[in-house]
């Protein structure tokens, strides 16, 4: 993959990802509303909300808060740039994890009890899903002998056929990563779940807008990982990727929030049973 192609791929990601992520958020709201017997907002409502936040006064508890939020946003972009630019997939996952750490620190820095609880729960979520995410990249490496997302895309056979259990495990932790019920314990993207907004309680204005757009980038990154399992057949890959997102929306609207112990215990159990077993099978092939 030459430099020009890499730069072009990164630019396309930086421009297209928030558009795709925002549209998916709009579809999410419409489907959720219809499932609850409501008409729902217009498709472009997430974009209207972000523009409105951008125009509002940015109230800061302290100056460090803004630096941490910006760092979160930048490292989400870096993670996506690495993956969609054909770089090291494991490095991209680490960059995304670092972004999450900055968001947690930003919440802690506000000294709000609500944000503090949200930050603690976000850390618990990270402990729950990170092992499965890392096993996903390890499984892809063991199958393709490369961490490069470009090499993985060029694989001639479906990775899913050799990584079925890892794929199922990754689908499970996506509910946590997308912050969908029953595991939206640190914050929720839907108002019906919240009295006080957890992790983002003390964020407003442009900071909150950056967090929302960063989540759009993050969602596209995660769906990109789903795409890699079926990249050998692009039509199938796109279909499965979209179906995965709509499945998460369906799960979100049919489950009540569970305690953090359930998220942690179930995610680790899935990682051990599905993720580790698939890696062992690959090792003995």
Task: Tell me the helices (H) and strands (E) count for the chain, helix number first.
Answer: 11, 0
Q: Is the pLDDT of residue 161 over 60?
A: yes
Is-contact 112 255, C-beta < 8 A?
no
Rounded Cα distance between 240 and 142, Å, is: 23
pLDDT score at 264: 85
Is-contact 54 205, C-beta < 8 A?
yes
- Mean pLDDT across the chain: 89
pLDDT score at 189: 63
pLDDT above 90 coverage of the chain, percent: 62
3-state secondary structure at position 148: strand
Q: Which of 140, 176, 149 is nearest to 270 (CA)?
A: 176
Is-contact 176 123, C-beta < 8 A?
no
181 pLDDT band, cuts 50/70/90, is confident
pLDDT score at 235: 95
pLDDT score at 168: 96
Count CB neighbours of 266 within 10 A: 18
pLDDT score at 115: 83
Q: Which of 120, 165, 119, 117 is nearest to 139 (CA)?
A: 165
Two structure tokens written together for 12? 């396309």
The string of pLDDT tens digits covering residues 76-132 is 999 999 999 999 999 999 999 999 999 999 988 888 888 888 888 889 899 999 999
The string of pLDDT tens digits covering residues 201-256 is 778 888 889 999 999 999 999 999 999 999 999 999 999 999 999 999 998 888 77
Domain limits at 114?
3-283
pLDDT score at 197: 66
191 pLDDT band, cuts 50/70/90, is low
Is-contact 103 211, C-beta < 8 A?
yes
Rounded Cα distance between 83 and 93, Å, is: 9
| Structural domains counted in the chain | 1
Is-contact 131 272, C-beta < 8 A?
no
Taking the CA of residue 266 as centre, how many other CA atoms within 13 Å lie in the half-sphere pointing to its CB?
Answer: 16
Q: What is the pTM of this model?
A: 0.92
pLDDT score at 114: 82
Two structure tokens written together for 265? 């215990």
Rounded Cα distance between 231 and 157, Å, is: 8
pLDDT score at 83: 95
């Amino acid at each position: 993959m030459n430099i020009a192609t890499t730069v072009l791929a990164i630019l396309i990601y930086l421009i297209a990802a928030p558009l795709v992520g925002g549209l998916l958020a709009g579809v999410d709201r419409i489907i959720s509303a219809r499932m609850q017997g409501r008409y729902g907002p217009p498709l472009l409502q997430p974009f209207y909300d972000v523009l409105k936040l951008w125009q509002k006064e940015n109230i800061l508890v302290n100056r460090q808060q803004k630096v941490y939020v910006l760092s979160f946003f930048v490292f989400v972009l870096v993670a996506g740039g690495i993956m969609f630019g054909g770089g090291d997939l494991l490095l991209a996952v680490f960059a995304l994890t670092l972004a999450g750490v900055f968001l947690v620190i930003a919440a802690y820095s506000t000294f709000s009890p609500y944000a503090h609880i949200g930050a603690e729960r976000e850390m618990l979520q990270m402990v729950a899903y990170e092992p499965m995410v890392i096993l996903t990249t390890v499984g892809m490496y063991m199958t393709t002998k490369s961490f490069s997302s470009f090499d993985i895309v060029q694989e001639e056979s479906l990775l899913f056929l050799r990584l079925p259990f890892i794929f199922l495990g990754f689908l499970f932790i996506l509910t946590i990563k997308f912050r969908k019920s029953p595991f939206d314990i640190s914050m929720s993207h839907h108002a019906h779940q919240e009295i006080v907004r957890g992790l983002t309680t003390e964020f407003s204005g442009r900071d909150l807008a950056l967090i929302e757009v960063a989540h759009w980038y993050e969602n596209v990154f995660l769906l990109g990982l789903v795409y890699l399992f079926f990249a050998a057949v692009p039509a199938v890959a796109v279909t499965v990727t979209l179906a995965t997102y709509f499945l998460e929306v369906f799960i979100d609207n049919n489950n009540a929030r569970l305690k953090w112990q359930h998220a942690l215990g179930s995610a680790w159990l899935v990682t051990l049973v599905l993720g580790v077993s698939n890696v062992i099978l690959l090792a003995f092939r």
